[in-house]
Amino acid sequence: MAPELVKPDTLFMQRRRILAEDTDAAGIVYTPRIAHFTVETVERWLAIRVLADTAESGLQIVFASLSCTFLSPMRADEILEISVALRRVGRSSLGFELVGHGEAGDRLCWMAETVCVCVDPTTLRSRPIPAALLGILQAEAALAERMPFGDRSLAP
């Protein structure tokens, strides 16, 4: 069941503490962990803003591509602020842009783009995004167009 359409006035953002297990011996975040942070944040965005129970809806979202640009090292115990912007709503796919800032918002640490595809959970074949979700997704994409995002002037 799709949630009631809520018109948020801000982009989705989550805070995440970098744990020791996210870092190497020098205390710097392992590069592959950024991919994990990206997937984790998009999944939370989906659960909170779009669809709390994908199993009930009969669909599954899978990640088809992901690219990252690393701009500043991150260390254990730092708090990241990770923001998500839905950039594209396709027939069966969603295109996202994410940015990770230091907690004070004064340092852009990384930027990522990812594409997710809606699939049938049994066949794992691409399927159209359910009509019941399109309005929510289109509202999120329209919000992302209006909001400032990914200020590269904060890159070191």
Structural domain contains residue 53? yes
Q: Is residue 54 part of a domain?
A: yes
Query: Worst-scoring range by mean pLDDT, 7-11, 30-34, 40-44, 149-153?
Result: 149-153
Residue 1 in any domain: the answer is no
DSSP letter at 50 equals I
pLDDT (tens digit, 9 = 90+) per residue, 39-88? 999 999 998 888 765 556 667 899 999 999 999 999 999 999 999 999 99
State the CATH number of the domain containing residue 91.
3.10.129.10
Helical H runs in 6-61? 31-45, 54-57
In a domain, 138, yes or no: yes
Total domains present in the chain? 1
The residue range of the domain holding 90 is 12-147
The pTM for the full model equals 0.85
**pLDDT, tens digit, 9 for 90 and up, residues 95-143:** 999 999 987 777 899 999 999 999 998 899 999 998 888 888 999 999 9
Query: Do residues 51 and 111 lie in contact, with contact meaning Cβ atoms separated by under 8 Å?
Result: no
Please report whether residue 121 resides in a domain. Answer: yes
Q: What is the length of the chain? A: 156
